[in-house]
A and B are shown apart, each in its own frame.
Chain A
Amino acid sequence: MAGRTTKQGRSNPNTGNPGKRGPVGQDEEEQPLQAVLIADSFNRRFFPISKDQPRALLPLANVAMIDYTLEFLAAAGVQETFVFLCWMSSKIKEHLQKSKWCQPTSSNTVHIITSELYRSLGDVLRDVDAKTLVRSDFLLVCGDVVSNIDITPALQEHRNRRKREKNISVMTMIFKESSPGHRSRCQEDDIIVAVDSKTNRVLHYQKTLGLKKLQFPMNIFHNGSNEIEIRYDLLDCHISICSPQVAELFTDNFDYQTRNDFVRGLLVNEEILGNQIHLHVTGEQYGARVSNLLMYDAVSSDVVRRWVYPLTPEMNFTDEEGQTCTHSRRNVYRGADVSLGHGSQMVENVLIGRGTIIGSNCQISNSVIGNNCTIGDNVILDRTYIWNNVSIANDSNIMQCVLCDHVEVKQGVTLNQHCVLAFNVVVGPNLTLPEGTVVSMHHPDEEEEEDDEDEFLSDDAGVNNDPLKTKTKGYSSAELGSEGKGYIWRTANVSEAEEDELSQGLWGLTVNLDPESESESEVSEDSQEQDSRAASPELDDVNVFQVEVMGTLQRGMEESIGCDNLVLEINSLKYAYNITLKEVMQILTKVVLEFPIQQQGQELTSSQYSPLLIPLLKRWTPVFKNYVKRAQDHMDCLAAIEEFFLERVALWAAMVKVLMAFYQQEILAEEAILRWFSQGVTSDKSKLLRKNQGVQKFIQWLEEAEDESSEEDGK
C-alpha cells in the first residue's frame, strides 16, 4: 500500500486547516493557492454514456469522479478553485452545490464558471487570462483525475525555480513512475520524455502512440548538460503546476488547444520564448486520469485495492449520508442494508453500495456494485462495474463490463468482455452479447448527424437541444433479446467512423496491443539495417557512388547536360566518396552498359540492346576519354565490360557490337583489346565468352587490320 504513509503529514481538509504548505519566502506576499479544474473532457471518449451524464459525474467506486479531484485539491492545500463547466453544466453545478465543497465550512472555495463556448482546454485558459482569475501559481487539473499525490515538494521546487530565475520555468508537470505495461498506464497517453536529470527540466515530450522509433532532436543535447535521461516509465497524472504566464501564453498562441499543444509548442519555441517546463516525478503516490473505460477499470480497481489511500471507499470523504460502508478482509466493502443471499460469495475486491440485494449462490469478484441494485440467483460477476438501481436477473454471467444506472439484465444473459450498457437499457432474456457490444437508448444515427456539425464538439453539446429526440425505430429483439430495449452502437459506428476514432474506442486500445507481434515485425527491418551497416564502409561508398553516377547520367540525358559538366560532377562525386580512379572507370563503364537495362527492363534481348546502347556510347565518348587514358585504364575498362557480360549470358551476342563501338569511338585501342583477349582469361566462363563467335570474328578482324597497318608501316 504505497499511499498509506504519504497522507500522514497532511492535514484533514475538513478541519478547516488549509493544509500543509511549503514555506514561502518571507519577502513574497503569500497568496492562497488556486486551482483551475476543468470539468469537461472536450472529447467523446465516454459516448454514449456521457450522453446522459457528464464524465465528471460518472461514479467511480460509487463516488462521482469530480469529488476525487476536489478532494485531491483540498488535500493539496488549494484554497480557491475555479471549476469550469461546459457540457451538462447544470447537472454538475447541481451536484457541486449539494456537495460539501459549497458548504461554508469548506476550506476550498469553489467558484463555478459556465460557458457553452468552451471547446478546449485552451479556451478555458484563455478565459482564465481574460478574466484575470489567477494571481499566482495555480494547479491545473481535469475533472476526472484521481490522485493522492502530495504536491508540496513539487510546488516548493516550482517556486524555488521561479524565484531563482524569474519567469523562466512556467510549468511543472507531475508524473508518476509506472513501468511500461502497468495497467494504470493509459496507452493513449503513452509518452516519452527527455529530461535533464540534474534540473528536472523537460527537453523533449512526445506522445508515442503508434511510433516504433523515437526521435530526439539533436539540439536537446547541445544545451550544456551531459546528463540527459530518456524516460518511458512515466504516467502523466494530468496535474500541472502553472504560473500565471501559462494562461497568457495560451492567449498569445490562440492555436493551442490542449496541454499537449502547449508543451510541444513551448519546447519547440524554447529559444524564442525562453520559457522552460519542468517535471516532478513521484514514485509511491497515486495519480491517474480516467480518460477511457480501460482507465476507468484500472482506476476503479486501484481505489478498491486501496492504492489511492486515503481516498478509499469506506472513508466516505464526500461526507454524504448513507455512503458509509464497512471494510473487511480481501478488500470487501459493504454499504448499509446490503443483503446477501445464501451461498453467495464475495471473493475479493468487491464494493457493494447501500440497499443492494444479492440473491443466492452468486460469485462476485473484482467488481463494484452501486446503490439499490437487485441481483438474482446464480449470477457470476467479474471485473464488472454496476452503477445504481440496476437489476440483474438469475443465471447471468457478466465479465468486465459497465452497466449504467437503471439497466435491466434479464434472465440467462451472458455479457462478454468490454460490453457497455448505457442508461436504462434492457437486455435479455437468454442472450449472449459478443465482446465489446455497446448498447444505448440513444440511436446511433442521432449521433452521426451531430458528428458532422463540429469536430471539436465539447462532450455532447448538440444533444442538449433535444435530449428526448427518440426515434421511433423498433429495438432489435434479435440482438437484444425479446424484452430488449436499446440500440447497439458499436458495429454501426466502427464501420463509418474515421480511422482516428476507430483507434479511440470506448475501451481504449490496450485490448490487444501485443508487444510480441511488434517486435516480430521489427525483425526484418532490423536485419536489413544491420546488414547494410555490417558491410565495410568502403563497399557502401562504392555502391552509393554507383547510384550517384547513374543518377548523374540520367539527369544528363534528360536535361542534355554537356559532357564537360558530367565529368565535373563525376569528379566531385569521386572526391566525396573517396573513390579511386580505377573504380571510377569500372563503375562508369558498368553504369553505361547497364543504362539500357535500367531504362527498358531486364528482358532486353541482345538484338534490342545494342541499338539502345550505341547512341549512348557515342554521346558519352568524351566522358570515357577523360578517364580512359593509360594502357592500364584500357585494360580496366575491358575488364569491367567483361564482368558485365559475364553476368548476362543472354546479351553475349551484343558484346561484339559494344566492343566495336568502343573501338570506333577510339575509347579503346586495338592493342588493348587484343591484349585483353589473349591474357585476361580468369575463369572458364570468361574463356567461353572469348569463344563467342562474334568476339572471335571481331578479334580476327582487328588482327588483320593490325597486320595491314604494320605492313603499311613496313613499306
Chain B
Amino acid sequence: MELQAVVMAAGGGSRMMDLTYSMPKPLLPVGNKPLIWYPLNLLEKIGFEEVIVITTKEVHKQMNIDTKMKLEMVYIQEDADMGTADALRHIQQKIKTDILVVSCDLITDVALHEVVDLFRAHDATLSMLMSKTHEFTETVPGQKGKKKTGEQRDFVGVDSSGKRLLFMANEADLDEELVIKKSIMRKHPRMHIKTGLVDAHLYCLKKSVVDFLADNKSITSIRGELIPYLVRKQFSASTNSQKTKDDSEKNQKKTDLKTPDIHISSKDEDLLDLAREKSCWNDHRGDMSDAYHGGKLRCYVHIMEDSMCYRVNTLAAYIEANRLAPKVFSEELPIHPTAEISEQSMVGADSIIGAACHVSEKSSIKRSTIGASSCIKEKVKITNSIIMNGVTIEEGCNIQGSVICNQAVISRGADIKYCLVGSGQCIEAEAERNNEVIVGIDQLMEI
C-alpha cells in the first residue's frame, strides 16, 4: 500500500448555510448522488481499495453509498470545532504510510496520477492540486447583483517548470507589498506568480508530516496553516542543513519547548541520495548545486489547465456542479428505471430523474435534476433547476433556475424563478417568487 486515502467529510458547509441547514454537506445531492460519492468514486477509479472517511455520526447514519472500497469510518464530534489538521492528528494511529487527503466537496475529472506522480518522482513532502478559478455564470438565488470575485486572491509562486511550489500567500495577509526572499530567487531565478487559482483541497502528504502534526498541536487547519508552513519551510536553513545534529541536541531542542521541527526522512533515504549523487539528473539548471539544492522538504503542485474541477462550497458552485457533473460522470442512465414518466411529458436528455419519481402528462423538464420519490404533476415546466428528494410540484407550476430542497411542496400554478426553497417549505398556490431564499424562520442564520 503506497498511499492511504483519507476523505474529509465532517465540514459543516458554513458558506452555504441555506442548503446545509437541513442536510449535511457530504450528502447534498449532485446529479442525484451525494456529494461525497464524487471523491470516493475518484479514489475507486484509480484503484484504492480502502479509504478512511472522517465524518460525523449523523452523516454516516444517512450515508448510503454504493462502493466496492472498504470504508473505514472515523467519527469526530460535530460540535468539537475541529480543523482539518486536527482531524488528521485524530487518526494519526491509523496512518501507516504516506497519505492522500481529499475533501468531500471535490468534484473533478483530473487524472489523479499527475498529482501522485509528482509526489513520487520528486520524493516530495507535499503535492497538491490546483485549478483555474471558475466564473460562475448561472444566476444564484438570493444574490443581488454580481458578486465580487477575487477579493482575496491567493498568490502562488511556481518555478519555471510550473510544478515546484515556491511561494504561497493570501492577499489578506499581505500589506502593501509581496515579499520574497532573495535566497529563494537565487535558487529558482524564474518564478511565476499565479493568481487565478483555486486550491482543490487534494493533498499527498508524507507520513512524517502527520507525525509532525501530532507533535505540533498548534496547527489546526491543513490549508490555512500546514501548507503555508511547509511551503515556507522548504527554504529555511534548519530543515536543509544536513542531519549532522546529534540526537542530544535534538532532544535539547524539544525540551526548550520550541516548535518541534519537521523531520522529513524516508526509509530509503541513503539509497536515494546515492542515486541522486550518481545520476546526472538535476531539477534545476543555472548553477552547480546538487539536485533540489540539498533540500529535503519539497512541495509540488499540479495545476489543471482545462479539466473540470469544482469545490462545492458555495451555492453558486453547487448549482454549477449540478449542471456539469452529470455530463462528465454519466455512467448510469439519466432516468432511473423505477421512475414513472408519462409518455406525454417531455424530459430533456440533459436531465436526470431519480428513483420512484413520478412525472405526469404535459410536463416538461429541461436541464434539471429531479431527486428520488419526487412527484411532478401535470403541465409543470422545470428548467435549469435542482429538485431534491420527495418534492411535490403541483399542476401548472413554472420553475426556473431554482433549487428546491427535500420534501418541499410547490402548490399549483406557482411561478418560481431563481429561488432557493428550503426543505419542508410549502409555497402557496399561484405565488410568484423571484430571486429569493425561502426558508423557515428557524433556519434563518443567526447573526
Interface contact B177-A231, CB-CB below 8 Å: no
**Assuming the A-B contacts A232-B190, A233-B189, are A218 and B238 also in contact, with contact meaning beta carbons closer than 8 angstroms in the complex?**
no
A192 to chain B: which residues have CB within 8 Å?
A: 182, 185
A445 interface residue per 8 A CB criterion: no
Interface contact B180-A213, CB-CB below 8 Å: yes
- Within the complex, the shortest CB–CB distance from B81 to chain A, in Å, comes to 12
Interface contact B192-A228, CB-CB below 8 Å: yes
A529 to chain B: which residues have CB within 8 Å?
A: 232
Interface contact B192-A523, CB-CB below 8 Å: no
Encode contact with A along B185-228: 1 for CB under 8 Å, 0 otherwise.
11001111111100000000000000000001011100001001
Encode contact with A along B41-60: 1 for CB under 8 Å, 0 otherwise.
00000000000000000000
A9 interface residue per 8 A CB criterion: no
Of listed B189, B192, B218, residue having the most chain A CB within 10 A: B189
Q: CA of A192 to CA of B186 in the docked complex: distance in angstroms? A: 10
**Assuming the A-B contacts A214-B180, A217-B176, are A531 and B190 also in contact, with contact meaning beta carbons closer than 8 angstroms in the complex?**
no
Encode contact with A along B153-186: 1 for CB under 8 Å, 0 otherwise.
1010100000000000001001111111111011
Encode contact with B along A499-543: 1 for CB under 8 Å, 0 otherwise.
000000000000000010011101100110111011110010000
- Within the complex, the shortest CB–CB distance from A282 to chain B, in Å, comes to 15
B307 interface residue per 8 A CB criterion: no
B266 interface residue per 8 A CB criterion: no
Interface contact B259-A535, CB-CB below 8 Å: yes
Q: CA of A536 to CA of B216 in the docked complex: distance in angstroms? A: 10
Q: CA of A226 to CA of B176 in the docked complex: distance in angstroms? A: 18
B379 interface residue per 8 A CB criterion: no
B145 interface residue per 8 A CB criterion: no
A131 interface residue per 8 A CB criterion: no
**Assuming the A-B contacts A180-B186, A211-B182, A230-B190, are A218 and B229 also in contact, with contact meaning beta carbons closer than 8 angstroms in the complex?**
no
For A521, the closest partner residue in chain B by CB is: B237
B171 to chain A: which residues have CB within 8 Å?
A: 218
A179 interface residue per 8 A CB criterion: yes
B236 interface residue per 8 A CB criterion: yes
Q: Which of A227, A233, A518, A534 contacts B229 (CB 8 A)?
A: A534
B183 to chain A: which residues have CB within 8 Å?
A: 212, 515, 518-519, 522
B195 to chain A: which residues have CB within 8 Å?
A: 221, 226, 228
**Assuming the A-B contacts A229-B192, A230-B190, A526-B238, are A216 and B178 also in contact, with contact meaning beta carbons closer than 8 angstroms in the complex?**
yes
A430 to chain B: which residues have CB within 8 Å?
A: none
A15 interface residue per 8 A CB criterion: no
**Assuming the A-B contacts A520-B237, A534-B259, A536-B220, are A229 and B193 also in contact, with contact meaning beta carbons closer than 8 angstroms in the complex?**
yes
B258 to chain A: which residues have CB within 8 Å?
A: 531
Within 8 A of B (CB), among A155-188: 179-182
Q: CA of A523 to CA of B180 in the docked complex: distance in angstroms? A: 15
Q: CA of A518 to CA of B189 in the docked complex: distance in angstroms? A: 17
Interface contact A515-B237, CB-CB below 8 Å: no
Q: CA of A194 to CA of B216 in the docked complex: distance in angstroms? A: 37
Q: CA of A228 to CA of B178 in the docked complex: distance in angstroms? A: 13
Interface contact A208-B190, CB-CB below 8 Å: no
For B218, the closest partner residue in chain A by CB is: A536
Interface contact A523-B236, CB-CB below 8 Å: yes
How many chain A residues touch B (CB < 8 A): the figure is 41
A103 interface residue per 8 A CB criterion: no
Q: CA of A519 to CA of B225 in the docked complex: distance in angstroms? A: 25
**Assuming the A-B contacts A179-B286, A180-B287, A526-B238, are A534 and B180 also in contact, with contact meaning beta carbons closer than 8 angstroms in the complex?**
no
Interface contact B192-A212, CB-CB below 8 Å: no
- Looking at chain A's contact residues, the main secondary structure is mixed
A536 to chain B: which residues have CB within 8 Å?
A: 218-220
Q: Which of B181, B216, B218 contacts A522 (CB 8 A)?
A: B181
B233 interface residue per 8 A CB criterion: yes
Interface contact B191-A229, CB-CB below 8 Å: yes
Encode contact with A along B274-315: 1 for CB under 8 Å, 0 otherwise.
000000000001111000000000000000000000000000
Q: Which of A218, A226, A534 contacts B216 (CB 8 A)?
A: A534
Q: Which of A179, A527, A535 contacts B189 (CB 8 A)?
A: A179
Interface contact B189-A221, CB-CB below 8 Å: no
Q: CA of A587 to CA of B181 in the docked complex: distance in angstroms? A: 36
B232 to chain A: which residues have CB within 8 Å?
A: 529-530, 533
For B232, the closest partner residue in chain A by CB is: A530
A598 interface residue per 8 A CB criterion: no
Interface contact B237-A526, CB-CB below 8 Å: yes
**Assuming the A-B contacts A179-B285, A534-B218, A536-B218, are A221 and B236 also in contact, with contact meaning beta carbons closer than 8 angstroms in the complex?**
no
**Assuming the A-B contacts A216-B180, A523-B237, A526-B236, are A534 and B286 also in contact, with contact meaning beta carbons closer than 8 angstroms in the complex?**
no
Interface contact B193-A228, CB-CB below 8 Å: yes
A682 to chain B: which residues have CB within 8 Å?
A: none
Q: CA of A192 to CA of B189 in the docked complex: distance in angstroms? A: 9
Q: CA of A116 to CA of B225 in the docked complex: distance in angstroms? A: 62
- Within the complex, the shortest CB–CB distance from B170 to chain A, in Å, comes to 12
- Within the complex, the shortest CB–CB distance from A444 to chain B, in Å, comes to 35
Q: CA of A539 to CA of B225 in the docked complex: distance in angstroms? A: 14
**Assuming the A-B contacts A228-B192, A230-B193, A536-B219, are A530 and B178 also in contact, with contact meaning beta carbons closer than 8 angstroms in the complex?**
no
Within 8 A of A (CB), among B221-260: 225, 228-229, 232-233, 236-238, 258-259
Q: CA of A617 to CA of B117 in the docked complex: distance in angstroms? A: 65
A679 interface residue per 8 A CB criterion: no
For A181, the closest partner residue in chain B by CB is: B287
Interface contact B287-A215, CB-CB below 8 Å: no
**Assuming the A-B contacts A221-B155, A535-B218, are A230 and B236 also in contact, with contact meaning beta carbons closer than 8 angstroms in the complex?**
no
Interface contact A212-B190, CB-CB below 8 Å: no
B237 to chain A: which residues have CB within 8 Å?
A: 519-520, 522-523, 526
Q: Which of A181, A515, A539 contacts B218 (CB 8 A)?
A: A539
Q: CA of A235 to CA of B203 in the docked complex: distance in angstroms? A: 38
For B197, the closest partner residue in chain A by CB is: A226
A464 to chain B: which residues have CB within 8 Å?
A: none
- Within the complex, the shortest CB–CB distance from A199 to chain B, in Å, comes to 15
A600 interface residue per 8 A CB criterion: no
**Assuming the A-B contacts A228-B193, A534-B229, A534-B259, are A527 and B180 also in contact, with contact meaning beta carbons closer than 8 angstroms in the complex?**
no
For A197, the closest partner residue in chain B by CB is: B192
Q: CA of A107 to CA of B157 in the docked complex: distance in angstroms? A: 48
Within 8 A of B (CB), among A600-648: none
Q: CA of A491 to CA of B190 in the docked complex: distance in angstroms? A: 40
B177 to chain A: which residues have CB within 8 Å?
A: 215-218
B218 to chain A: which residues have CB within 8 Å?
A: 534-536, 539
Q: CA of A157 to CA of B322 in the docked complex: distance in angstroms? A: 46
Q: CA of A539 to CA of B220 in the docked complex: distance in angstroms? A: 13
B190 to chain A: which residues have CB within 8 Å?
A: 229-233
B191 to chain A: which residues have CB within 8 Å?
A: 229-232
B285 to chain A: which residues have CB within 8 Å?
A: 179
Q: CA of A522 to CA of B180 in the docked complex: distance in angstroms? A: 13
- Within the complex, the shortest CB–CB distance from B231 to chain A, in Å, comes to 11
Q: Which of B186, B259, B287 contacts A531 (CB 8 A)?
A: B259
Q: CA of A221 to CA of B150 in the docked complex: distance in angstroms? A: 12
Interface contact B229-A533, CB-CB below 8 Å: yes
Q: CA of A129 to CA of B183 in the docked complex: distance in angstroms? A: 42
A194 to chain B: which residues have CB within 8 Å?
A: 193
**Assuming the A-B contacts A179-B285, A232-B185, are A530 and B196 also in contact, with contact meaning beta carbons closer than 8 angstroms in the complex?**
no
Encode contact with B along A435-474: 1 for CB under 8 Å, 0 otherwise.
0000000000000000000000000000000000000000
A182 to chain B: which residues have CB within 8 Å?
A: 286
B229 to chain A: which residues have CB within 8 Å?
A: 530, 533-534
A-B complex: 6 closest residue pairs judged by Cβ atoms: A179-B286, A233-B189, A232-B185, A232-B189, A536-B218, A226-B196
A-to-B contact residues, CB < 8 Å: 179-182, 192, 194, 197, 208, 211-218, 221, 226-233, 515, 518-520, 522-523, 526-527, 529-531, 533-536, 539
26 A-B pairs with C-beta separation under 8 A: A179-B287, A181-B286, A212-B181, A215-B179, A217-B178, A218-B171, A221-B178, A226-B194, A228-B193, A229-B190, A229-B191, A230-B185, A231-B189, A231-B190, A233-B190, A519-B183, A519-B237, A522-B181, A522-B237, A523-B237, A527-B238, A530-B232, A530-B259, A531-B259, A534-B219, A534-B229
Contacts A181-B186, A215-B177 known; 4 new A-B pairs at CB < 8 A: A213-B179, A527-B236, A530-B236, A533-B232
